[in-house]
Amino acid sequence: MGTRIARVLSVGACSLAASLLAPGAAALEFGPNDAFTFRGRFYAQYTIATENTEAESNGTALDPAGAVPSRNGGDLVQQRNFMNPEFEVDFRRLATPLEGWFDEIEGRVALWGFYDGIYDYGPERWRQVLAQYRTHELQQASKGTRVELRDGVVRFPAGIYERQARRVYGRRLRVNEAYVDLADGPWFLRIGRQAISWGEADTIGLLDANNPFDTTIQPGLFIDLDEARIPLWTVRGTYEVFDALGPFSSGFLEAYWVPGWLDTTISPLVIQSASPFAPPPPASAGYDTPDPQRLNIFQQLPEPSTANSRWGVKFQTVIARDYNVQTWFYTTFPIQPVPVLYGLDENGQAVTALKNKLTNVIGVAGSWYSEAVNSILRAEIELFNGEPGFLAYKNLGRAVESGFTRPGHFRRTNVLRGELGLDHNFFVPALNPTSSFLFVGSIVWFWNTDETPQSDFRANGLLKPSAIRRQQEGGLPAGFYNGPYCDNRSDPSIPQAQRQCDFVNQDPAGGFLQATLRSDFLRGRLTAQLTSILTHRGALTFAPSVLYRFDDHFLFDAKYVNTNTFGSINNGFTLGPGLLRDRDEFWVRATYQLN
């Protein structure tokens, strides 16, 4: 069946390519007064791994049968066929009487979808995943809106839906955008499914949190940020408050509302070991033990209700003609959920719920040109107020210590995040006599203001590689050390034998440096780019890429992603690029766009 589907899709893709590659292909305008426009972007990408994964990351040594999925150097790890067709209409061209009503009445619908052939014609181990995930990997991936511990048993009052790897990583299709724009004089209104981005996002979208992201593939490194961003059903309005007011000019007020009874979409559940892009640890931890404990990783979705509505307000203006300033307040669901251990369900599975709660975000940002450095400077600071945090003992250890008679809990935190960036154009005639180089660099930082010696927050339940390796070598299972010491290292009453923790520490403050350098060659046909990221934990990523434009419609690009960590086995290993230190890859992509 899978082979048949792949063959049909391949034939369809070839037919589509043949029609699109016809000479003179461009955005299609048709209908009365050319009111309708069709454009789109389509690509096929082939990705191979350039190194083997570590056993403690995506696993090989955990399973003596050798069926635990892993990325081996030279393996196909992705064959992604992506489409993003767009359809637009100008209603004023359709009906002449509408011209007197508004300055603008337009509509837009865009689809978003992909098919990845990894499960159909990739390495055999990925077809085994589909067939054996629950029985072999000892883990069920599920989602629902409610979970509770009642009479010593974890129950799901609103039901439960099991996630399938193919539906997450293999193929998906959705209406990505569907909205109507209305504009007249000083105001603008957009109603429908749309994306909003108020924070900076050069490579990793740490400050860009209005909309959820598809994190099944690392956004910014292995997939474009715009492609990973998930639009929401939103009402959004902008009003020009003033054109000039003393030293202020171009003052705009913007607001939006995502009704919770209509749309509570959050980032999709990442399924461990189900894909070459699944993050560590392996799902089959404990497979070779005499009585392995099965797990149910339950993504608790926000309940559809007005109380779960997301909304925001932003004001922006220009001060003294040079300084672009914005300030905002909005509510959002964090991109990274926190795990909470509940207990055992009726099937004897240990249930860990991934929690998401509405968080307030208060931000200020500015950008200006500085003659001193001949560059554009950018600065931003945001307070994430009430973000769920992870304390290993509070979230997990208490439930284990109670014999699963009471669930774990999470604590809310206040986290400051910010960025200081610089954009600089310069010429190096010896390297490129016709075009300039563009350097985009920034320092992105965070500070958990609630971190104390008595509240030692950890990285969202991420297990240390050393703990997983200990288990692989026949020692105590990874996650065994989840006691009070994890949360309170200053408590002298904790016995010495228990003064260790199996979970990666989340530093109270840290961040990363990111930089991109690019330039155009061959009269704009060839773009060369190098992106690098260095985290405070010692993870270093290089991502060189080249893009060649055959014409305005057909593009070809290639990219290599390489991440390294330095020092001990645990060094550099935390949320972000450090998780990908054994996921180096090279990909080539052919893109066709109607524009």
Question: What integer best gives the mean pLDDT of the chain?
Answer: 87
Distance CA 563, CA 579 (A): 9
Q: Give the C-alpha separation, 138 to 156, whole Å.
A: 20
Q: What is d(CA 123, CA 116) in angstroms, rounded to the nearest whole number? A: 13
Structure tokens at 492: 């002298």
- Give dist(CA 581, CA 540) in Å, integer: 9
Instruction: Give the pLDDT mean for 287-308.
Output: 81
Q: Give the C-alpha separation, 409 to 419, whole Å.
A: 31
Contact 49, 74 (CB under 8 A): yes
The number of helix segments (H) and strand segments (E) in the chain equals 10, 28
Token digits of residue 138: 């000892």
Taking the C-alpha atoms of residue 162 and residue 144, their distance in angstroms, rounded to an integer, is 9
Q: Do 594 and 38 touch, CB atoms closer than 8 A?
A: yes
Of the pLDDT bands very low, low, confident and very high (cuts 50, 70, 90), residue 586 is very high
pLDDT of residue 220: 83
Q: Tell whether omega for the bond before 281 is within 30 degrees of 0, i.e. cis.
A: yes
Contacts with 320 (C-beta within 8 Å, 6 or more apart), sequence order: 247
Find where tokens 């390297």 sit. Answer: 431
- What would the two tokens of residue 109 be? 């619908």
Q: What is the pLDDT of residues 400-455, one digit of tens each?
A: 999 889 999 999 999 999 999 999 999 999 999 999 999 999 999 999 999 998 99
* Cβ(240)–Cβ(251) below 8 Å: yes
Check: CB of residue 268 under 8 Å from CB of residue 214.
yes
pLDDT computed for residue 134 by the predictor: 62
Identify which has the larger pLDDT, 338 or 14: 338
Kindly state the DSSP code that residue 72 receives in the 8-state scheme. Answer: -
3-state secondary structure of 256: strand
pLDDT digits (tens, 9 = 90+) for 366-411: 999 999 999 999 999 999 999 999 999 999 999 999 988 999 999 9
Ranges of beta strands (E only) in 267-349 are 295-300, 310-319, 323-332, 338-344
Report whether pLDDT(7) > 60. no
- What percent of the chain clears pLDDT 90, i.e. is strictly above it? 61
Q: Distances from the Cα of 127 to the Cαs of 59, 132, 163, 253, 562, in angstroms? A: 16, 9, 16, 52, 27
Q: What are 78-120's pLDDT values in tens digits?
A: 999 999 999 999 988 887 666 667 788 999 999 999 999 999 9
* pLDDT tier at 234, thresholds 50, 70, 90: very high
| Cβ neighbours for 76, distance < 8 A, ≥ 6 positions apart | 46, 47, 48, 118, 122, 123
Which residues are within 8 A (CB) of 53 and not within 5 positions of it... i.e. 6 or more apart? 59, 60, 70, 71, 72, 582, 583
The CA distance from 332 to 359, in Å, is: 5
Rg (C-alpha) for the chain, rounded Å, is 25
Whole-angstrom distance, CA of residue 531 vs CA of residue 533: 7
Dig out the tokens for 328 from the structure.
Answer: 């905002």
| pLDDT computed for residue 67 by the predictor | 43
Nearest CA among 382, 380, 449 for reference residue 412: 449
CATH number of the structural domain spanning residue 260: 2.40.160.10
Q: Say if residue 203's pLDDT is above 60.
A: yes
Structure tokens, 163: 């996630």
**Distance, CA of 518 to CA of 545 (rounded, Å):** 9
CA distance linking residue 464 with residue 503, whole number of Å: 5
Q: Write out 404-461 in H/E/C secondary structure.
A: CCCCCCCEEEEEEEEEEEEEEEECCCCCCCCCCEEEEEEEEEEEECCCECCECCEEEE
Tokens of residue 321, six digits:
């003609």
Number of domains into which the chain is organized: 1
Q: Do 256 and 224 touch, CB atoms closer than 8 A? A: no
Exposure of 93 by Cβ count < 10 A (0-12 exposed, 13-18 middle, 19+ buried)? Answer: middle
Q: In this structure, are strands 295-300 and 139-144 parallel, antiparallel, or unpaired?
A: parallel
Amino acid symbol at 149: L
**What would the pLDDT profile of 515-562 be if each residue is shown by its tens digit?**
999 999 998 999 999 999 999 988 999 999 999 999 989 999 999 999
In the block, residue with structure tokens 């067939």: 131
Q: Alpha-carbon torsion 475, 478, 483, 484, what sign? A: positive
Q: Please measure the distance between the N-terminal and C-terminal CA atoms of the chain and give it in whole angstroms.
A: 36
pLDDT, tens only, 116-164 = 999 999 988 888 778 776 666 667 888 999 999 998 899 999 888 888 8
pLDDT recorded at residue 9: 41
Q: Say how far apart CA 568 and CA 539 lie, in whole Å.
A: 12
The closest alpha carbon to 122, from 165, 184, 62, 182, belongs to 165
Which of these ranges, 231-235, 300-304, 322-326, 402-406, has the smallest mean pLDDT?
402-406
**Number of C-alpha atoms within 13 angstroms, CB side, residue 559?**
22
Looking at per-residue pLDDT, the higher value among 148 and 55 belongs to: 148
Question: In whole angstroms, what is the distance from residue 89 CA to residue 200 CA?
Answer: 31
Residue span of the structural domain in which 477 resides: 2-594
Rounded to 10 degrees, the C-alpha dihedral 140/141/143/146 comes to 40
